[in-house]
Amino acid sequence: MSRIGKQPITIPSGVTVSVSNDNVVTVKGPKGELKETLDRDIKVEVSEGKLTVTRPTDQIRHRALHGLYRALLNNLVKGVTDGYKKELELVGVGFKASNSGNTLDLSLGYSHNIILEVPKELKVTTVTEKGKNPIVTLEGSDKQLIGQVAAKLRSLRKPEPYKGKGVKFVGEVLRRKAGKSAGK
């Protein structure tokens, strides 16, 4: 058995889980509603406040999907109860971030500002304090969507290994290089 797949998911109060005939799991909670389409072989059962994922055989494919779908369903339940949050830090002289609604305006050292439309499912906030790097915060219930948008923001200017300038996650440790050594 898959160590992750066989663990049941406890459903907190205020969260409803429903499974349709075509294997679409819908999770509703205080932070919204999320859906996940499962493989036709994987079965999901809801009973006594617990969600269990089962597989039909011990084939390699079924074993792989067992743990995967259990983890995805756990992310849905956690997302609609607590939600997810990612923070990105803009390291560099003159780097700025501002937002109006879900439109993010970034100044990352290019000749022009980058204007990015964040999906409406996410909430974006920017903080700029004097003497500190600007921070962009993404909040929402969909872990996959937050990760995708955060990766897109980071790819606009990846941190470079010499000075560490660029867009990085808060708490991310960068591997730094020494650079050129001075002459005689």
Cα 64 to chain center, whole Å?
A: 22
- Distances from the Cα of 98 to the Cαs of 35, 59, 90, 178, in angstroms? 32, 50, 12, 33
Per-position pLDDT tens, the chain of length 184: 578 888 999 999 999 999 998 999 999 999 999 999 999 999 999 998 999 999 999 999 999 999 999 999 999 999 999 999 999 999 999 999 999 999 999 999 999 999 999 999 999 999 999 999 999 999 999 999 999 999 999 999 999 999 999 999 999 999 999 888 865 5
Backbone angles phi, psi at 104, to 5 degrees: -105, 130
pLDDT of residue 180: 84
Listed in order, the ranges of the chain carrying CATH 3.90.930.12 are: 9-81, 84-169
This prediction's pTM: 0.89
Q: How many CB atoms lie within 10 A of CB 154?
A: 17
Tell me if the domain spanning 84-169 has CATH number 3.90.930.12: yes
In angstroms, the CA 20 to CA 24 distance is 5
Tell me if the domain spanning 9-81 has CATH number 3.90.930.12: yes
Specify the DSSP element, H or E, that contains 37: strand 32-37
Alpha-carbon radius of gyration of the chain: 21
**Over the range 40-62, which residues count as b (16 or more CB within 10 Å of their CB) and which as e?**
eebebeeeeeebbbebeeeeeeb
pLDDT of residue 1: 54
